[in-house]
Structure 1
Amino acid sequence: MSDSEYRGLCRAAVYQFGRGADAALFPAPEAVEITHTSSGRPRQVHADDGRIATYGTDGRYRLGLAGGRRLAEAFDGSRHRVVVGDESEPFVREGRNAFAKFVQSADPELRPGDETLVVHEDGHLLAVGRAELPGGGMTDFETGMAVKVRQGADDA
């Protein structure tokens, strides 16, 4: 991987997830492996612990479980998180969607379409996915999907 490609991936991570995401997701160029499309655009980013992310055509990352674990360790508090309890834990862990009825709290900065870490109330990462509702409103809704889960912890 070229130095400019590595810097580009890091810039995209900071843009999407905020300061510190670059170091969390891509600690060093030699620590990650990138697959490319036939046109040469980065596609998948892998490391020893699994798929970190897919780099979409829109320039945004779709997190893999390994990337979710890295961000969960790097960011404290509620940042990029949706918290669910025991009722939905086994379903979300299997890769099923998280519904608003079971959301206990959520990062108020989340917007629909943002990448999200779905965590249990005890802090364990259950899944990664895409927010379908704004973070500030997830606890207000009684019905509807809060997070479209892309990969559950049991899928890894």
Structure 2
Amino acid sequence: MDKNAKMLKKVRVMADYQFGKGCGDILFPDDVTFQLSRTKRIRQIMVSGKRIATVRAKDGTFTLSMDAATAIHDHIPAPGSRVTVCDDAVPFVSKGKTTFAKHVTAIDPELRSGDEVIVVDENDTVIATGQLMLSPEEIEALDTGAAVDVRCGCEQ
């Protein structure tokens, strides 16, 4: 097995663990390319020169591009990996602004603080991707504070 095939197998297993079975094959086709760090660790995974995911150095998990978030959204049934926001917040969140707890109308109860999430509107349309800052219980109990640190929105 060549080095690229080994790396491909590794990132597919990582994606299956982080997002659920089958997500690795969906996110990373056979023609992906890898950008490595100076220490030869995988940093970015690209398809046709476009970033799909980045491996976070601090914990080895993926951060997603909008294309990757949409692919996972299409694969995982609701409410999996999703944070739903009210219509009032959609214009701001889709531009990459922080999602606040008071704007969250629904959330996947299986999520944990620190997870990479897909932010959707009331119609289950992907509007952003980011990192969950609070647990689902905290978001439901609190009416203040940042719920999702949005990395990229669909209008950026």
TM-score normalised by length of structure 1:
0.92
Query: Are the structure 2 counterparts of residues 48 and 119 from structure 1 closer, same or farther at C-alpha, using a change threshold of 3 Å?
Result: farther
CA deviations 1:66-120 (Å, max 9, x no partner) are 1111111111110000001211000000000100101000000111100000000
SS of equivalent residue, structure 2 residue 141: coil
Q: Does residue 39 in structure 1 map to residue 42 in structure 2? A: no
Deviations 1:94-151 (A, max 9, x none): 0001001010000001111000000001111110000011123323221111101011
Secondary structure of residue in 1 paired with 2:11: helix
What are the within-5 Å matches in structure 2 for residues 61-140 of structure 1? 61-140=62-141
Secondary structure, aligned partner of 1:139: helix
Other structure's SS at 1:123 match: coil
Equivalent in the alignment of 1:153: 154
Partner secondary structure for residue 154 of structure 1: coil
Q: Which residue of 2 aligns with 1:19?
A: 21
Q: Please say if residues 106 and 136 of structure 1, whose CA atoms lie closer than 8 Å, have aligned partners that are also in contact.
A: no
Distance verdict in 2 for CA 1:49–1:97, change over 3 Å: farther
Contact 1:50 1:66 (8 Å CA) reproduced: no
Partner Cα separation in structure 1 for residue 21 and residue 111 of structure 2: 16
Between the aligned residues of both structures, percent identity stands at: 34
Number of residue pairs matched?
A: 153
Aligned to 2:91, the other structure's residue is in SS state: helix
Q: Is the 8 A contact 1:109 1:136 kept in 2?
A: no
Q: Distance in 1 between matches of 2:137 and 2:24?
A: 26
1:24-53 CA-to-partner distances (Å, cap 9, x unmatched) read: 211x221x2221112221111122494211
Asked whether the 8 Å contact 1:51–1:65 carries over to 2, the reply is no
Extract unaligned runs of 5+ from structure 1. Answer: none
Correspondent of 1:3 among 5, 8, 12:
5
Q: Which runs of 5+ in 2 are unaligned?
A: none
TM-score in terms of structure 2 length: 0.92
| Aligned residue identity for 1:23 | D
